[in-house]
Amino acid sequence: METDNDNKSSGGKIALLILVIICSSFIVYFTVMSMLGPSRRLAEMKKEYSSEQSDNKKEKDKGKEKQDSRNFTDSAYLRLIKERALLQSRLIMAETDSIYLTINLADSSMNLEISGVVVHKSKMSSYKASKILTHGNENIIFEMLSTPLTISSDIATIKKEPVMVKMAPKDTSEYKPDIMPDTSITEPVSYILEMTNGTRIFVYQQEEEKPADRMAIFRFDLNDRLRQTWKALKRVAVFKVPEYDLYIKIKLPRADAKIIYRAIPKKGQISVFL
């Protein structure tokens, strides 16, 4: 009897040990694959935005290549290249009749514009950006930002177009004025703008006056992390490197964040200045 119990106990320990080894191996495998994501993303950007014409030009003129490499260490020259990329992007968007968004991380501002005219200004309280954007290859980043980013989808805690359903009165005697309070004034505002090139722009309200605001932001961020983790797990399960998305996380006053989200079109365009 004791021998049977000992065998069951040993079998349970072996099964538990095997399970621990399998889980630990998968965690290590998942971690390694996830770490390969940024380098894979950078390689894709190099392939997409590197110009064969510029490569040929460098081969013909090595002296100019050395001069260009020296120029890229000069802060004034880099700023001019950044400004040129922003202007090129804004010119493309100004040709449309639609409203668009300009994000200027250098002076911490976000502006809604129409045909080159600023119609709404807002100031960021803080921001955080992917290291590939802030410390990556300047040639690739400037080339990418010289054309507008286009929104493919969005996720938000508020409605894009709030709708109120009302029953029309039969006559003036049945008319009653609206007494329903506007809850959108105080509801927490958080949203993510997904770009067609894989870049993700997070916007959070800067106010965290109430515990409910902090909890709403936490739940919103947690749900997004769970979605991204599930997507990564599905790719890792079929031996693919998880996709790494460039990101910009911004905090704005609640009112400005709501105005921008509801003003920018569903497939709107965005220009970014680093």
pLDDT in tens, 235-257: 888 888 888 889 999 999 999 99
Task: Provide the whole-model pTM.
Answer: 0.77
- pLDDT at residue 22, as a whole number: 84
Assign residue 68 a region: left if phi > 0, alpha if psi is -120 to 50, beta otherwise?
alpha
- pLDDT at residue 154, as a whole number: 93
- pLDDT at residue 153, as a whole number: 92
Burial class (CB in 10 A: 0-12, 13-18, 19+), 246: buried
Task: Quote the CA–CA distance of 107 and 137 in Å, as a whole number.
Answer: 22
- pLDDT at residue 102, as a whole number: 92
Q: Where are the domains of the chain?
A: 49-161+182-273
Task: Quote the CA–CA distance of 102 and 250 in Å, as a whole number.
Answer: 13
Check if CATH label 3.40.50.150 holds for domain 49-161+182-273. Answer: no
168-172 average pLDDT score: 60
190-195 sheet: strands from edge to edge = 117-123, 109-114, 99-104, 269-273, 149-156, 190-195, 200-205, 247-252, 126-129
Q: Confirm if 271 and 145 have CB atoms less than 8 A apart.
A: yes
Residue 260, pLDDT > 70, answer yes
Residue 54, pLDDT > 70, answer no
- pLDDT at residue 39, as a whole number: 82
Tally of CB atoms within 10 A around 242: 20
Q: Confirm if 251 and 125 have CB atoms less than 8 A apart.
A: yes
Q: With pLDDT > 70 as the criterion, what percentage of the chain qualifies? A: 77
